[in-house]
Chain A
Amino acid sequence: MTQQATVITHFSSPTWPLVNKLSAICKCLDVKMIHCSTTEKCRTIIADKKLGRVLFFTDEGMADLVLEMEKMRLPQFEVAMLVLSHIPSLLEKMTALKIVKYLIGLESPEDYGRDLSILIKKFSGGNILDLDKYLAFGSKIHSRTIKTHQDKRGAISAVSDYVANLGDPGYDHPYGEYSTRMSELVDELLLNAVFDANPRMQNVDRSKPFKLDDKELVHISWGYDGEFFGVSVRDPFGKFQSETILKYLGQRRNLEDLVADKSGGLGLKFIFEKAHQVIANVQSEQVTEVIALVKFASRLREFEEQKKSFYFFG
């Protein structure tokens, strides 16, 4: 564990239950936490050059302060922002995209435990690559390797069947609809890993069969813990950047804007639309693992209303 990691918190309105929750998690993980009750105190602390790596917890009400921090160019700072607005609408207005690495949909502090402990643990130096770290203990993880277009199709079918079979076969359950949505999600994750992330594949005709070299193989794994379905796709390129992702998660909806360059903008938007939590783990030029977590509710309306979060670890 890196001893120098510090968590600093400052919110636009008093949120003691949340501050207490963060304080408890930081103590459990042996991470130093400083809560700033005023913006003035916050500015003084930010200016301290001896801080080392800092995870700055705030909310969208402090967007101007975050913009100020981005202009100060603080490479050791990463911002986690609690978001009340619809995330794509917020991203439309937000310009501080380099320093913001985590967007967390606002909910009651009692429900934050899972998100916050993953975030702080990872930030403080814990290795949380691999899907099994995100699903409840004991969940069976299934996996496949993608080398050809048939492997891609086969993996999507396997995930689709897995989700469809979670429900009772003689009953009209929502898993049929979830199966379709997970097919779309997995297809986008694989398109991104096979074509967009791989420099050799970016300009190839996607309608033609493909065969990846051994050093280009893509790995997919998936599982369900009774509450969350998770899927992880890993490529050996490490090209993902948080600002690229955030740029495309914004509310732009004209095809021309979304496919203007070769970064798979529309695909990123689809991924975020289908998942409740998207976690990107990137080791630059080595590996990108994108994990999508989805909460299967008993009603589709509840599914649609789940809060969304985005985490970038790189």
Chain B
Amino acid sequence: MKMELLSNVLVCEGILDEHTEATDVQKTLQAIQKIAKGAFDVDFSKVKYANSTGIVTWLKTLKASGVTIRYINAPVWLVGQFNMIRDFFENGSYVESFCAPYYCTSTQESRALTLRVGKEVPVTDNYKGIKFPNVAVEGKTFEIDFVPERYFSFISENLKIFKEKYP
């Protein structure tokens, strides 16, 4: 996985797997530590996917660095990881925006649309029964294509962190 450190965001690209070396991640996080004032934005939208070795490298190095991350534009695969492993929210790290699957019933098209925590997605401990509005894209109506209480469980299970960031 390639990591490009811009002035206020770390842009990652490629595949987060066994070829992502811990020393490279460590150097990047150390560089972030020098410039970050609070949580630093990390964008994984150009990372195709991750395997378990890559995830372990990322999380262990992140934990050791003490850096606080704000995940922006998190792709669907990363949301799956947020919901599976608690350690993504170490050091007070949290999510600002992420993609979610949507479906248009009239054309049977699938799209991943971006949602923002605290805006389109409220911060709550229970998403059951909450209605999420349909979204119009290029004249077509898309509805959510996921189970909110499952897809947003990374928020409901880390409520304290998210409530603090999005009061």
- Contact A255–B146 (Cβ < 8 Å): no
The one of B17, B77, B84, B146 in contact with A300, judged by C-beta atoms closer than 8 angstroms, is B146
Instruction: Determine if A254 is an interface residue (Cβ-Cβ < 8 Å).
Output: yes
- Contact A191–B77 (Cβ < 8 Å): no
Residues of B12-58 whose CB lies within 8 A of A = 17-21, 48-53, 55-56
Residues of B92-110 whose CB lies within 8 A of A = 101, 103, 108-110
Q: How far is the CB of A220 from chain B (nearest CB, A)?
A: 15
Instruction: Determine if A253 is an interface residue (Cβ-Cβ < 8 Å).
Output: yes
Q: Interface size (B, Cβ < 8 Å)? A: 34
- Contact B103–A187 (Cβ < 8 Å): no
| A contact residues around B86 at 8 Å (CB) | 253-255
Known: A188-B52, A300-B103. A177 touches B112 (CB 8 A): yes
Instruction: Determine if A229 is an interface residue (Cβ-Cβ < 8 Å).
Output: no
- Contact B110–A301 (Cβ < 8 Å): no
| A110–B146 alpha-carbon span in the complex (Å) | 26
- Contact A187–B17 (Cβ < 8 Å): yes
Instruction: Determine if A109 is an interface residue (Cβ-Cβ < 8 Å).
Output: no
Residues of A255-308 whose CB lies within 8 A of B = 255, 258-259, 264, 266-267, 269-270, 273, 298-301, 304-305
Instruction: Determine if B66 is an interface residue (Cβ-Cβ < 8 Å).
Output: no
The one of B17, B56, B110 in contact with A266, judged by C-beta atoms closer than 8 angstroms, is B56
Instruction: Determine if A130 is an interface residue (Cβ-Cβ < 8 Å).
Output: no
Q: How far is the CB of B130 from chain A (nearest CB, A)?
A: 16
Q: How far is the CB of A294 from chain B (nearest CB, A)?
A: 14
Tally of contacts, chain A with chain B, CB under 8 A? 88
- Contact A191–B84 (Cβ < 8 Å): no
0/1 string, B128-145, CB within 8 A of A gives 1: 000000000000000011
0/1 string, B110-152, CB within 8 A of A gives 1: 1110000000000000000000000000000000111100100
List the A residue with the shortest CB-CB distance to B87.
A255
The one of A171, A173, A174, A273 in contact with B84, judged by C-beta atoms closer than 8 angstroms, is A273
The one of B48, B56, B87 in contact with A180, judged by C-beta atoms closer than 8 angstroms, is B48
Instruction: Determine if A184 is an interface residue (Cβ-Cβ < 8 Å).
Output: yes
Interface centre among B18, B19, B144 (most CB of A within 10 A): B18
Instruction: Determine if B60 is an interface residue (Cβ-Cβ < 8 Å).
Output: yes
List the B residue with the shortest CB-CB distance to A273.
B84
- Contact B18–A206 (Cβ < 8 Å): yes
Instruction: Determine if A213 is an interface residue (Cβ-Cβ < 8 Å).
Output: no
The one of A171, A187, A258, A264 in contact with B85, judged by C-beta atoms closer than 8 angstroms, is A258
- Contact A207–B21 (Cβ < 8 Å): yes
| A270–B144 alpha-carbon span in the complex (Å) | 24
Q: How far is the CB of B141 from chain A (nearest CB, A)?
A: 14
Q: How far is the CB of B8 from chain A (nearest CB, A)?
A: 28
- Contact B52–A266 (Cβ < 8 Å): yes
- Contact B18–A184 (Cβ < 8 Å): no
Q: How far is the CB of A250 from chain B (nearest CB, A)?
A: 12
Given A191-B52, A207-B19, A270-B51: 6 more A-B contacts, CB < 8 Å: A180-B48, A184-B51, A184-B77, A259-B56, A266-B52, A267-B52
Instruction: List the 9 closest pairs (A to B, CB-CB), nearest first.
Output: A206-B18, A172-B109, A266-B52, A267-B52, A187-B51, A255-B87, A174-B110, A300-B101, A300-B145
